[in-house]
Every structure is written in C-alpha cells, then in structure tokens.
Amino acid sequence: MAIRRIVQYPDPVLKSKAKPVTKFHDRLHKLLDDMAETMEDARGVGLAAPQVGILKRAIVVDIGEGLIEMVNPEIVERRGEQLSPPEGCLSIPNLIGDVRRANYIKVKGQDRYGQPMEIEAEGYLARAFQHEIDHLNGVLFIDVAERVYRPDAEGDAD
C-alpha cells in the first residue's frame, strides 16, 4: 500500500465525471488499498478515486465504524433531510460548508471483486457516502453548500 497525493482544488480532475469500473483486477485492489491508507493518513472519513487523480468510480468511507469500499456506487433511494454537521473535504483544505443532504440513503454498487453489494446508511454515514459519490460526478461540496466558511470564522460565507 502507498499514500497517494490528494488532488487539491481547483485541479480540473475534481470537476470531471469518473468512468465506471469494468475490470476488477489487482490494479483496482491496489487503488482501493492506497485510497484507504491515504484517507487514514489524512484523517479523512471518505475519499473518491478522482481525489487521487484517477477518474474511476470507486470510493472508500470510514466514519469510525470500519472501512467500506464501493465500486460503481449509485444512490437508489433517499429519504429525510439533514443539514449538519458541516462538511469539509480533503481536496479543499481550510473550508467547510453547510450542505443539505438526505438523512437516509440506499446505495447499490460492487465490491472490489465485482460482486453486487448494497448499503443502507443514515446520518453521518449517509452524508459521507453522498459527499464521495458527488466527487464521482464532478460535484464538490462548495458547489452545493448553502454557506461556505473557514472553520474558525463565525462570519458570513467566503
């Protein structure tokens, strides 16, 4: 495993749509392993492949309950609404934002071997999945936030 460089905004790769994964081989497994290690090293709770410069539909999420890897994730159901906690992003340091997200989602995708998987998520886990899936579509939290600000600022949006 290796720690990869996290792409920083405004790199155009972050605004690009990722392509579906069609080959479930050792290179994909290495990418997922590296993404997990990179996320952990950066103290993040999620990372999408475009954030390490790879335009493939793969994400890793760990909100402290164990690592979840998902390839070709797709949200198939959404319910409810949440506005907090504020979101940050490893690709956009020193900014956070208030983003309205579904409180419950059902996500279908594949594991690292191409086997179908489905996850139901609520609260913070649902927020993390939505944030990472947005990355796969070239959408950043600053694009959908109601307010963006510095974590230490109490004032208006930047």
Q: Which alpha helices (DSSP H) does 42-122 contain, by range?
A: none
135 is in an annotated binding site: yes
Does 28 show up as a binding residue in the annotation?
Answer: no
Contacts (Cβ under 8 Å, ≥6 apart) of 79: 102, 103, 104, 105
How many Cβ atoms are within 10 Å of 17's Cβ, its own excluded? 11
Catalytic residue from among 87, 122, 132, 146: 132
Task: Kindly provide the residue ranges of all beta strands, DSSP E only, lying in 86-134, ordered along the sequence.
Answer: 87-89, 92-98, 104-110, 116-122
Whether residue 77 lies in the annotated active site: no
| 26's tokens | 């050792």
131 is in an annotated binding site: yes
| DSSP string for 66-84 | --EEEEEEEEEEEES-B--
Residues acting as catalytic residues: 132
Q: Which segments are annotated as binding site for Fe cation? A: 89, 131, 135
